[in-house]
Structure 1
Amino acid sequence: MKIPQRYRRRTSTIASLALLLIAVAPLSAYREGPNPPSSVRSQYNAYDPNLSDNFNGGVDWSKWTRRQTNIASKGSLATWQLGTVNGGWMRLYGKRINGNWVGNGFASKPSKIYNTGFYVARWKFNGPSNNKTIYHPSIWSANWNNGVDSATIPTGSNWLELDFMEYESWPHYSPASHLVPRVNGQIPSGNTRPRMVDGGVITSFSDQIWGVEYHKNYIRTWKYANGTWSQVGRTVWSSGQTNWAINKYSYKCRKKMYWILSNITPDWQRRPAALQNNSTADTAFYINYFEYHPGKSKI
């Protein structure tokens, strides 16, 4: 049957429009990482594309802002050109430029506030094999986004820093997953600091998939390998106490948060002793995706 010309034109227009919509659809809207572990999946909602990014084609700047220079990273964020995207991997380089050791990072936009949930990230790190470096690749959260487009969630003197992962020259932080709770503005130190994973030397720079479970009642760290999730380390419980221990923190610290993904040289790592004892070789922190499954039990 011969289709009238006017219908053929309409069909062609609809097809062209469909292709255009596909072309401009945000690539970060598609989940790449695994779902949460089956044992806890019922406690979390489906992947939220508005608070996730898989960096296909670039950073979605409706979700992120540059990390700004602050006390810890003073002089570190010299150029955003150190942050590039290639093949779906965000690459955050640490290099020495014009005599300065510089890095880069980005942080949640002020409107992108996170709650309880299951977070999944795929990352890898290229750097010195002896585990001694002045650079500090990390994925962590706080009530302040540390961003050029700065924002702070009002939390008073009680709030939580959740370190999903961080790599630093201290052996028990290589990598580590731990908490820095603030209760009445006080921070725990040493062995009293709550932590899910004590850390250990990174022996492989191959890509890794990790998850952190921020539940209203506890926090856990997970690793995904060979199609299976396994909990790594201990469960840190939210308690009614105002003090803390290696496996608990005060419920007063449970707060909403912003996320920061960066590779910087902290101020203390650019002091003479640190420069003498740690490698200053170039590094690269690669992030393939950062995905969020909101918790059903909110704060």
Structure 2
Amino acid sequence: MGLRALVRTSDGWAVQHAVVTLTDRTGIQVVRADADADGVVAADTALTPGPYTVIVTATGFAPAAATAFVTSSGVADAGTVVLTRQAGVDMPPPGLWNIDPVHSSVATVAQHLGFSSVRGRFGDFGGQIKVSAVPERSRVDAVIDAASIDTGNGVRDKHLRSPDFLDVERFPEITYHSTGVSQSGPDRWRLRGELALHGVVRKVGLDLSYLGTGPDPWGGERAAFHATTELRREDFAINYNQMVQAGIAAIGTTLRVELDIQAVREVDPRDTSGS
């Protein structure tokens, strides 16, 4: 006897913090129950046969309502209730997600000689993404080993590690700590934060896209993101340059950064459900 329901997001994830209420035809609440770690709602309460209204709410999601009919069995089975994130927002399930450097990339593009580009990447980096039930409260913390810069040319990479550029002996790490996030589209966000580079800390925004979530071959859950930004070298006191002719510098003053990130959901050790 009682209320039965399964609460899911549009992409099939459990909404662990959902609250389900059941009201009778007069609008009086007769049952209130919370979803468990698997999004399952089960409340053993004696119910009189007839129609009831099921209302499902959760922070960060638009409320949903459905009608359930209680038969002589005394069970109100609402089936699977799908919640839509507020304003069409799509994000991974709340929790801690660890960046997987093996399946991620931190790439840079700099202009060279005024008409071509030099591409590089950092090979050693890591970080965590904390997804909140209220997306705007999510945060990102990341660290990059500055010495891991790789442009495919050993001589150039050695110069980039020198005091002329990254000065990795004095500033071995590049760090980013987010300070806020706001929605700019159904799957697009503007991430605000502080970037520490070459001993200078500046406010830097990232244009972030959420690409989706799904299982991986190793039994984990993964989320994918793409982010871009542009940095001005002079903002971080990296002023080295050479002029190849009047008005044309060997190296551009701006650096485009492109991030392709896969993150693995960290399992809460208190969760023994296997979800």
TM-score for both structures, normalised by structure 1: 0.23
More helix by share: 1
Please, what TM-score do these two structures have when normalized by structure 2?
Answer: 0.24
| Higher RCO (CA < 8 A, seq sep 6+) | 1
